[in-house]
């Protein structure tokens, strides 16, 4: 047994708190969680049943925390966890779970299975059983500052374009600004329109804001792979930059897991509350609109629907703002049957999109979204996560579907009444 594996098991043991103990005690093996998981519904493969994905964690808990487990272990009837358990489960733990949280909404005994999958990854990543794509992304995030290898130089180049196109000056490292915005590498590389939209909206609303040269990246590969130290380091950079600049609010961008990372997990990772607050861009836009600081004009009469990014809505609690905002610019906004906190995932969250090995399964699981769209018959899907956007676009292309995916923030910027509103 390698030392690294033993460390992984020790970390796994450390994850077993009262929540996990109550979950494993309560689970009646009813299998209902399977019906909520797109990896099961689209494949009918029972191995993709959410609770089955935490089997190694259950095995450890049983052997060390239950009467029968302890008895079996002392009689040599129960084998301890082995490396092959980790090797066999690696794909289930990483490839077939986007940490979307849907299973946790349906379990009759109330188990937060997603929490357990998030936690089992801690042990797996320490033991070295994690997909290469995610390991590399985490390494790049730690050494370069972004999982996609984006440096501040690249950001500056993107900002220069934005400044040229908008005629606005993007504030960098502005001391005591009210808001500090973060971006995901995908926005910088694939969707610079998002940055442009933010610049226009903030200008119109008279928002005092800045971007930090030290911490522009919002994504957190440490959370996805399940490496507490890496996750804490990445959150720590943002905290240091924001507190150094005397910022009041850090704005999490249109990216799902970035929000979970900085808003909900961050303070627990660094072991203290922040000196600032975290808002999601949609919460901020909704607030600015409610305060009359941004004015929108014209309504789209294209039929539109909303794809809820799991980490922002179901796991993040930003449920109403995207709806309020979309209603204000879309005349024909229709919800999919399962929406809001019961939406179906795009299939690429939780690091799955960074895991090339999972591509085939991911595209298969996209059948669920395809079905939802076909049922609704709407060809424009609005969302608020750069990762969802890329995954949705790939899925649509794969299925040769004629559906457009647009960003909510960008859509709002298009409807912005230009010119500053006095505040």
Partner 1 sequence: MIGEFIDGPLWYFSLTAFVIGVVWRIVSIVRAGVRPDLSIARGSAGRGAMRTIFSRFVPERTVTTRSRLQLIAGYMFHVGLLILLFFAQPHIDFIAERITGLSWPAVPHWVFIVAAEFAFAGLILLWLHRVLNPVTRLLSDMDDHIGSILVFLVMLTGCLALAQSHEALRLIHLFLAEVFLIYFPFSKLMHAFTFVMSRGYTGATMGRKGVNA
Binding site for ligand SF4 (CB under 6 A): 27-33, 36-37, 39, 50-51, 53, 97-103, 107-109, 111, 113-114, 117, 345
**3-state SS string for 59-76:** HHHHHHHCHHHHHHHHCC
Q: For partner 1, what does the binding mask look like between residues 292 and 311, x meaning CB under 8 A?
A: --------------------
Binding segment for partner 1 among 23-31, 121-129, 192-200, 246-254 (CB under 8 A)? 23-31
Work out the angle between the directed axes of helices 55-65 and 113-127 (0-180°, nearest 10).
Answer: 90
Residue with tokens 């704005």: 251
- Find, among 209, 334, 220, the residue nearest to 279 by Cα: 209
Task: Choose which of 80, 206, 244, 273 interacts with partner 1 (CB under 8 A).
Answer: 273
Site for partner 1 in 56-95 (CB under 8 A): 65-68
Which one, 159 or 279, has the nearer CB to partner 1? 279
Among 6, 7, 43, 47, binds partner 1 (CB under 8 A): 47
Structure tokens at 352: 């799955």
Cβ count within 10 A of residue 329:
20
Q: Which residues contact 42 (CB under 8 A, 6 or more apart)?
A: 364, 365, 366, 367, 368
Choice between 46 and 206, CB closer to partner 1: 46
Task: Give the separation between CA 177 and CA 229, rounded to whole angstroms.
Answer: 29
The answer to whether 264 contacts partner 1 (rule: CB under 8 A) is: yes
| Closer residue to ligand SF4 (CB): 54 or 204 | 54
Three-state secondary structure call for residue 181: strand
CB of 69 vs ligand SF4, minimal distance in Å: 18
Quickly tell me which residue has 């709002």 as its tokens. 412
Degrees, nearest 5: CA angle 234-263-50: 90
How far apart are alpha carbons 98 and 45 in whole angstroms? 17
Q: Does 334 bind partner 1 (CB under 8 A)?
A: no
4 touches partner 1 by CB under 8 A? no
Q: How many of the other CB atoms lie within 10 Å of CB of 419?
A: 8
The answer to whether residue 231 forms part of the interface with partner 1 (CB under 8 A) is: no
Measured from the CB atom, is 92 or 288 closer to partner 1?
A: 92
304 backbone dihedrals φ, ψ, rounded to 5°: -130, 155
Tokens for 155, please give them. 């950001």
What x-and-dash track marks residues 339-378 binding partner 1 by CB under 8 A? --xx------------------------------------
Task: Examine residue 11 and tell whether it contacts partner 1 (CB under 8 A).
Answer: no
Q: Is residue 421 near partner 1 by the rule CB under 8 A?
A: no
Q: Where do contacts with partner 1 occur on this chain (CB under 8 A)?
A: 16-23, 25-32, 34-36, 40-41, 44, 46-47, 49, 51-52, 65-68, 102, 104-112, 115, 263-268, 271-273, 277, 314-317, 319, 337-338, 341-342
């Amino acid at each position: 047994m390698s030392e690294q594996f033993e460390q992984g098991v020790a970390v796994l043991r450390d994850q077993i708190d009262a929540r996990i103990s109550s979950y494993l005690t309560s689970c009646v093996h009813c299998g209902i969680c399977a019906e909520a998981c797109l990896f099961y519904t689209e494949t009918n493969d029972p191995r993709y049943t959410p609770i089955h994905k935490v089997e190694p964690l259950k095995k450890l808990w049983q052997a060390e925390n239950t009467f029968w487990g302890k008895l079996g272990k002392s009689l040599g009837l129960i084998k301890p966890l082995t490396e092959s358990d980790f090797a066999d489960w690696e794909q289930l733990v990483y490839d077939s779970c986007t940490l979307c949280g849907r299973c946790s909404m349906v379990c009759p005994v109330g188990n937060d299975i997603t929490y357990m999958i998030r936690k089992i990854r801690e042990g797996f990543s320490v033991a070295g059983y994690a997909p290469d794509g995610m390991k590399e992304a985490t390494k790049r995030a730690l050494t370069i500052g972004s999982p996609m290898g984006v440096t501040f130089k690249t950001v500056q180049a993107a900002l220069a374009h934005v400044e040229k196109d908008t005629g606005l000056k993007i504030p960098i490292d502005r001391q005591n600004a009210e808001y500090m915005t973060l971006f995901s590498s995908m926005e910088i590389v694939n969707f610079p329109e998002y940055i442009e939209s933010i610049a226009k909206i903030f200008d119109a609303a008279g928002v005092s804001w800045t971007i930090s040269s030290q911490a522009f990246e919002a994504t957190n590969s440490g959370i996805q792979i399940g490496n507490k130290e890496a996750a804490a380091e990445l959150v720590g950079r943002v905290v240091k930059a924001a507190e150094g600049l005397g910022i009041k609010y850090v704005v999490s961008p249109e990216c799902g897991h970035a929000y979970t990372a900085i808003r909900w997990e961050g303070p627990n990772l660094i072991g203290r509350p922040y000196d600032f607050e975290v808002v999601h861009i949609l919460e901020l836009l909704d607030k600015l609109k409610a305060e009359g600081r941004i004015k929108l004009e014209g309504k789209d009469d294209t039929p539109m629907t909303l794809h809820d990014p799991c980490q922002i809505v179901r796991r993040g609690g930003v449920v109403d703002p995207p709806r309020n905002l979309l209603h204000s610019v879309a005349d024909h906004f229709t919800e999919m049957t399962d929406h809001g906190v019961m939406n179906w995932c795009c299939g690429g969250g939780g690091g799955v999109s960074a895991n090339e090995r999972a591509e085939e399964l991911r595209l298969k699981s996209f059948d669920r979204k395809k079905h939802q769209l076909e049922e609704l018959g709407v060809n424009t899907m609005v969302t608020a996560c750069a990762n969802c956007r890329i995954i949705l676009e790939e899925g649509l292309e794969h299925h040769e579907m004629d559906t457009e995916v647009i960003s909510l923030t960008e859509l709002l910027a298009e409807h912005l009444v230009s010119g500053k509103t006095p505040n």
